[in-house]
Amino acid sequence: MDNILIIDDEKYIRMGLRKIIEDSGIQYQKIVECRNGRQALEALELDNFDVIFTDIRMPVMDGIEFIKKMNEYKCEADIVVLSGYDEFNYAVHTFKYGARDYLLKPIERDVLIQLLSKIAAEREEKENALKQQKLETQRMQQIEKNYNEAVSALTFTALNQNDSAHERPTHKRGLDINPQMEKALRYIEQNYENKLNMAIVSNYVSVSYSFFSETFKEYVGVNFRTYLKTVRIKKAKELLANTELRIGEIAREVGIYDEKLFMKNFKQVTKLSPTEYRKYAKIHVFLDNEC
């Protein structure tokens, strides 16, 4: 139990309640005393209270008016009304405004301690239940997170396997090794990050543009532009997975100087945006390390 508020216009009543609580052995943080409801509302603006003891008849603002107004403060305190025999009918009305119990004056020590002990036990039980609920919610969130990460990793793996067939086109089986085409493939692999086109590569291997175009597609299985794109995207995937370079920097690293074009090409090949791929790649690495 944290804070306790005592509201009564009679000082000896406040002092008596404080003395009983202090000697009871019940754990609490502090006790605050107020002479009327208005003072008590000011106290509510400064502190939260677990238990509030309030008299009914007080000057300035009585207990019933205080209980009505304290609901505006979203206070979750247990309210105990203090009443004399001639005030009992008033005390009954306070229950519809949120009071949980009442004590008849003069206050009996054992009755007060029994009530406080009951309130403390109930609040502790409620607090433990809320903690358990919070832990359960966190556990379910962690399970959901692990599930989503596993699904993401499987998606990443499946897409990687699906892409691999398109990323590594080589010469068609059954055709003789063509030294010029092999030389062209090595040149592309070594210079993909530069401004590269079919004219540059055909000139490098010393064949005509038209002959190179026809022979390259027949030898590799895809045209020159598609092959160059898949080589660049493959290298981009390595950079996304293993570096913290920005997307634009990676695009330039693989020879694509238009970031929008790079993102378009990347999604065509991998079915993912560069950002999505990087996220899945990191999850995949994390799960591999965990295993």
Round to whole Å and give the CA distance between 178 and 231: 20
Q: Tell me which DSSP letter residue 136 carries.
A: H
Last residue of a domain, one of 88, 107, 126: 107
Percentage, residues of the chain above pLDDT 90: 44
**52 and 178 share one domain:** no
- CATH classification at residue 95: 3.40.50.2300
Q: Is residue 134 part of a domain?
A: no
Q: Is residue 222 part of a domain?
A: yes
- CATH classification at residue 162: 1.10.10.60
For the chain, what is the total number of helices (H) and then of strands (E)?
Answer: 12, 5
- Domain encompassing residue 72: 3-107
**12 and 60 share one domain:** yes
Q: Is residue 119 part of a domain?
A: no
The verdict on whether omega for the bond into residue 106 sits within 30 degrees of 0, i.e. cis, is: yes
Total domains present in the chain = 2
pLDDT band for position 75 (50/70/90)?
A: confident
Please give the residue that has the higher pLDDT: either 177 or 166.
177
Please determine, for residue 174, whether its predicted confidence score (pLDDT) is greater than 60: no
pLDDT tens digit sequence for 192-237: 999 889 999 999 999 999 999 999 999 988 999 999 999 999 999 9
CB neighbour list of residue 142: distance below 8 Å, 6 or more residues apart:
none
pLDDT for res 168: 46
Please determine, for residue 101, whether its predicted confidence score (pLDDT) is greater than 50: yes
**64 and 144 share one domain:** no
Q: Is residue 11 part of a domain?
A: yes
Q: Is residue 131 part of a domain?
A: no
Most confident of 39-43, 98-102, 103-107: 39-43
Assign 3-state DSSP to the chain and report helix, strand, coil percentages, each to 5. Answer: 65, 10, 25
Q: Is residue 113 part of a domain?
A: no
Least confidently predicted of 167-171, 188-192, 203-207 = 167-171
**207 and 247 share one domain:** yes
pLDDT tens digit sequence for 135-144: 888 887 877 7
Q: Is residue 112 part of a domain?
A: no
Last residue of a domain, one of 53, 88, 107: 107
**100 and 205 share one domain:** no
Quote the mean pLDDT of the chain: 84
